[in-house]
Amino acid sequence: MSPRLRVVVFALAALAILPAVVRVARHMPRFGAHPLPYGDAINHRAPDERHVTNMVTAVNFDYRGLDTLGEEFMLFGAVIGTVILLRGKRGERMTAPPGFVEGRPIPARSDAVTLLARPFAPIVLLFGIYVVLHAQLTPGGGFQGGAIIGSAMLLYYLAEGYGGWRRLAPSTALKDAECAGAAAFALAGLGPMLVGAKFLQNVLPLGQMKALLSGGLILIVNYAVAFAVAGGFGLLFVEFLEETRVVEDEDEDADE
């Protein structure tokens, strides 16, 4: 399909759904008003019941934690599937030189990119850790913080190149982080059952409201998600960046 034809198809599709978009927009409730009682119920009960001030975290990691566990393992399965599809002989060695993408050479890093990426990589990493640690207090959490930490890994690649990045983020460590995070989430749900509670029931001390260590089991689940998401994004980056390296011919050398 040519670029012009794609634009025409997009324009026709946009015109077809435009009346529905306008109708939905005209009937949306005003900002701050909603017809559902669930948000009000969580805002009213969660601070006293869980000692947290971020209601989204309370819902994701406690009140509807089982749903989040399913989402976590969906991400886990998606990463594993991608790794299985992409993993091969390409770029296994950190010394492999850059290859080609659809016949186009991969341009070298510019000095400006290196200069900007080097200071921003640790800044972004620290911000990601901050988002993870304050999940029960302010907007954010393990998913968001893990994605930010993964972005910091990619910035480090832009700063130091493929070899330096692979030495900092070995695929084995990233795999272990993702697996440990997913396993810790599941064990956090099974642990309360050992003392007669329900799956993922918050049985740990809740701590003091607005303190860094508050929320009980929410903290454990949040950290587990952060490890799984950061490790998963790191594994994806490893596999995608290996596709930019030349194909290794170790097997061919062995046959000769």
- pLDDT band at residue 142 using 50, 70 and 90 as cut-offs: very high
Q: Which long-range contacts (CB under 8 A, 24 or more apart) does 43-52 make?
A: 47/209, 50/136, 50/202, 50/206, 50/215, 50/216, 50/218, 51/206, 51/207, 51/208, 51/209, 51/214, 51/215, 51/216, 52/136, 52/137, 52/209, 52/214, 52/215, 52/218
In a domain, 253, yes or no: no
Rounded Cα gap, residues 237 and 235, in angstroms = 5
Residue numbers of the domain that contains 92: 3-248
Sign of the dihedral through C-alpha 223, 188, 59, 210: negative
Residues 6+ apart with CB under 8 A from 165: 153, 156, 157, 241
In a domain, 255, yes or no: no
In a domain, 256, yes or no: no
Kindly state the greatest CA–CA separation across the chain: 73
In a domain, 116, yes or no: yes
Whether residue 124 is predicted with pLDDT greater than 90 in this model: the reply is: yes
- Mean pLDDT score of the chain: 86
For residue 41, how many other CB atoms are within 10 A of its CB?
11
- pLDDT at position 57 is 93
In a domain, 254, yes or no: no
Q: What is the mean pLDDT of residues 13-19?
A: 95
Residues 6+ apart with CB under 8 A from 41: none
- pLDDT band at residue 35 using 50, 70 and 90 as cut-offs: confident
Rounded Cα gap, residues 232 and 226, in angstroms = 10
Q: Which two three-digit tokens encode residue 71?
A: 């989402």
What domain count does the chain have? 1
In a domain, 31, yes or no: yes
Residues 6+ apart with CB under 8 A from 83: 235, 236, 239
- pLDDT at position 160 is 86
Rounded Cα gap, residues 94 and 162, in angstroms = 7
- Closest to 72 (Cα-Cα) out of 211, 213, 197, 184: 184
